[in-house]
Structure 1
């Protein structure tokens, strides 16, 4: 059975037209950058996992986030010989100046525009997910 994790691609809008994505730098492994996400607990549904992990890792909950309807991406890759599925929803930070509070699982966070975010994450599947999220947000504004 595949490992399963869930999280959010979180973005904020800053005037005039800037869209920035939240990335967290892990305190383990290669210290890679990633959106908030984590493994599904037994008996927990996927969206609940995404919300719990985002609260734990970034200190952001439904009070600070607005979940965007119609966007859900599934990434599938191998981790230490096991298949892993990661589901990402899209959420906008209601107040772009809300403070991010990191858990010990992460050493830093950064708000980054699309190009910088793609450079930070390094993996092509999450880069593509960020591009699709950016496109989705722009299309919603038309």
Structure 2
């Protein structure tokens, strides 16, 4: 059975820039392993549904809850890959930060965070499937989807 993790790709829109250059993505740098960069996500607890996991993990890892984020309807992305010989599936929803000045509060699992425009976010996210996911989010937002 595949390991399953869920999380949010979180973005904010900067007022001082015009679209599409006003979009920045939140990436967290792990404090373990290769110190890779990733959106907030984590494993599903027994009896927990996927979306509840995404909210819980985002609160735990970045200090951002439903009062800080506005979930964007119509976007759900699934990734499948192998970690240490086991299949893993990751589900990402999309959420916009309501107030771009809100501070991220990291858990012990992460040592740093960064708000990055698409190009920088893709270079930080060294895995191709995560880069592709970020690009699909950008395309989704540029098409005018995700506007409240």
Aligned to 2:37: 33
**Could you list the per-position Cα deviations for residues 31-75 of structure 1 after superposition, in whole angstroms to 9, with x for gaps in the alignment?**
000000000000000000000000000000000000000000000
* Equivalent runs, 1:35-74 vs 2, <5 Å: 35-74=39-78
SS at match of 2:106: coil
Aligned to 2:122: 118
Work out the CA distance in 2 between the residues paired with 1:62 and 1:135. Answer: 24
Over 3 Å off, 4+ runs: none
Post-superposition shift, 1:137? 1.1
State the superposition RMSD in angstroms: 1.0
Work out the CA distance in 1 between the residues paired with 2:70 and 2:100. Answer: 12
* Equivalent runs, 1:11-30 vs 2, <5 Å: 11-15=11-15, 16-17=17-18, 18-30=22-34
Q: Which consecutive unaligned segments of at least 5 residues does structure 1 have?
A: none
- For these two proteins, the number of residue pairs brought into alignment is 142
TM, length-normalised to structure 1: 0.98
SS at match of 2:138: helix
> Is 1:127 aligned to residue 146 of structure 2?
no
Work out the CA distance in 2 between the residues paired with 1:93 and 1:84. Answer: 27
Aligned to 2:9: 9
Work out the CA distance in 1 between the residues paired with 2:137 and 2:8. Answer: 11
Work out the CA distance in 1 between the residues paired with 2:11 and 2:142. Answer: 12
